Structure 1
Amino acid sequence: MIDIYQVDSFTTERFKGNPACVCVLDKFPDSKNMLNMAREMNLSETAFVVRDKDEFTLRWFTPTFEIDLCGHATLATAHILWTEGFWDKNKPIIFNTRSGKLIINLINDFIEMDFPSLEYSEVIEVPNSLIEGLGGIIPTFMGKSRENYLIEVATEEEVRDIQIDISKLLECNMHGVIVTAKGSEEYDFVSRFFAPEVGVPEDPVTGSAHCVLAPFWNDRLGNTKFRAYQCSQRGGYVNLELLEDRILLRGNAVTIFKGKLLEQL
């Protein structure tokens, strides 16, 4: 039987932050079975982890397909490995992933993840369906990073007030879109992330998006340390530090439930 857990990441409160499923395995089943499990859990990401001597191999699946990088499910997996006794809390966790090695440390009450910084570039125009799909917002910056659009707007209120049209966003043929604005005194910036193409209309808190947002806001504010808030309905806090081509993402996690999958995948 397989140990399964559901964890809320980037929060200290139950039912806030971003939920992820974590499956602790002796070995990986085939990808089709892992995808079926992700569909069954019906969360934005399900993480599958296997120990390999003093390191771990980690894979992430949305309900639609396997992805290259996921912050909140990585944080959830580290939280489970430490709190459930799979790994010594005094030792860092090394995950081998499709995005390379990720080193995770427990720093006081925070889980600290060492992730790659992601580049972005400005674009002159975006599809009309993207703007319509975001409720007709007025961008102050338009860009791309890998498979995502990056849109800046003038105010935090504009980010919070977005009502999406999923059918319009699906016409864009992009993984997702990050929308951001400078924050209030409490946060340096806010954001939201929409990815209906991969079965996630809105992701509550997105670690990988902050790997783009940190260098983006470094270019604007000159800071290397940030307090960020993803203002989805659930909401979540991300503490960030930019170190050249790496990002330190720090957050908390809360276990919601644990159980057993009754048959092998």
Structure 2
Amino acid sequence: MTDLNSTEVLTIFNALNDASVIDIKRTTTKNDIVVILSSGQAVEELQPQFDAILMQYANVQEGVELCGHATLAAAHALFSSGLVNSNIIEFVTLSRILTAKKFQETKASNSSDIQNGESQDCFLIELDFPTVPTIDFNSEEVSSISSALNGASVIDIKKTSSLDALFVVLPSGESVVEIRLEFDTICKCPEKGIIVSGAAPSGSGFDFYSRFFAPKLGVNEDPVCGSAHCALAPYWSKKLGKCDFVAFAASPRSGVLNIHLDEHNQRVLLRGKAVTVMEGTMHSSLQLRLQFVVAVTPSLQLVLPL
């Protein structure tokens, strides 16, 4: 499916250790990231105006500190299930506190609804992320990175300050699309992932292309990585002299992201939608009742400064 990024969301009302999170992941399907939502108290006991939810991200190998599309899916699951009553959720994650805001929009569901004057209520979710600065990379290691990229021409290499990822810039967006990586070589790099980006072709309607690879985390390529754009947005803002972007995630599945960089507050704002395509209950060996939701996150939409 183009412009879709799937996530499994498991809602748990007991705190779990990291090993338990990974064990649960291994009993489910092999989608990119599982989001574990847990709270020390029942959700209905939380402050109704501003809910605080403990959240852990995981894949098949280990915990992950930040995942953009998983945060969007988690917020969608909580909002749509009625587990929270407010329009704001505060997620307490391994790395930081993230907020998700719900915005209502009215959308006609089909032609018959339009004829009958009926409409279907749906909502957008705005995610507010901190920017991820990039720092200089040791030039002596450039040759090994080029080898991992199958000899691709590299015009700039940085490191992200908090995502533990390399940030590699290629001569063009076409180079990003065509790149073929040596995953065995990438796994030898000290960083956990690699962001590859390049300026979009003239007339494409995009500002830049990108891809994100993380074989060390059990994900050779993230189809659409929201958190990577927390580093991409400030980098391309300096290069292009702008704060609003239309970005193309050039993975085989692909995706489009519309982004606003709030330079004053050093935030990256994303707004998007999700839809639940499957829901059920899982009874684990931990004697916990887990709500299981698969949320599919389409391309992210432009958010303007509030």
**Smaller-chain TM-score range?**
0.7 to 0.9
What amino acid maps onto 1:31 in structure 2?
D
Cα RMSD after superposing both structures: 1.9
Give matches, 1:82-161, under 5 Å.
82-88=79-85, 91-107=87-103, 108=105, 109-123=123-137, 124-146=139-161, 147-161=164-178
Which range moved further: 120-129 or 236-245? 120-129
What amino acid maps onto 1:202 in structure 2?
E
Say which one has the larger Rg: 2
Pick aligned residue for 1:55 from 46, 52, 55: 52
Could you say which residue in structure 2 is the equivalent of 1:11? none
Of all paired residues, the percent bearing the same amino acid is 33
2 CA distance for matches of 1:83 and 1:135? 45
Could you say which residue in structure 1 is the equivalent of 2:292? none
Equivalent residue pairs, number: 251
Distance 1:177 1:206, change over 3 A: same
1 CA distance for matches of 2:183 and 2:99? 35
2 CA distance for matches of 1:85 and 1:74? 17
Give matches, 1:222-233, under 5 Å.
222-233=241-252
Pick aligned residue for 2:207 from 179, 188, 191: 188
Question: SS of the counterpart of 2:212?
Answer: strand
Per-residue CA distance 1:41-89 (angstroms, 9 max, x = gap): 323211111245132111111211112211111011011111222224x
The TM-score, its normalising length taken from structure 1, stands at: 0.88
Match status 1:21 vs 2:8? yes
Question: SS of the counterpart of 2:141?
Answer: coil
Q: Does the 8 Å CA contact 1:238/1:250 hold for their aligned counterparts?
A: no
Structure of greater relative contact order (alpha carbons < 8 Å, 6+ residues apart)? 1
Could you say which residue in structure 1 is the equivalent of 2:183? 166
Q: Structure 2: 5+ residue runs without aligned partners? A: 106-122, 289-306
Q: Structure 1: 5+ residue runs without aligned partners? A: 1-13
Question: SS of the counterpart of 2:6?
Answer: strand
What's the CA shift for 1:125? 4.1
What's the CA shift for 1:127? 4.8
Which range moved further: 160-169 or 48-57? 48-57
Large movers: runs of 4+ above 6 Å:
none
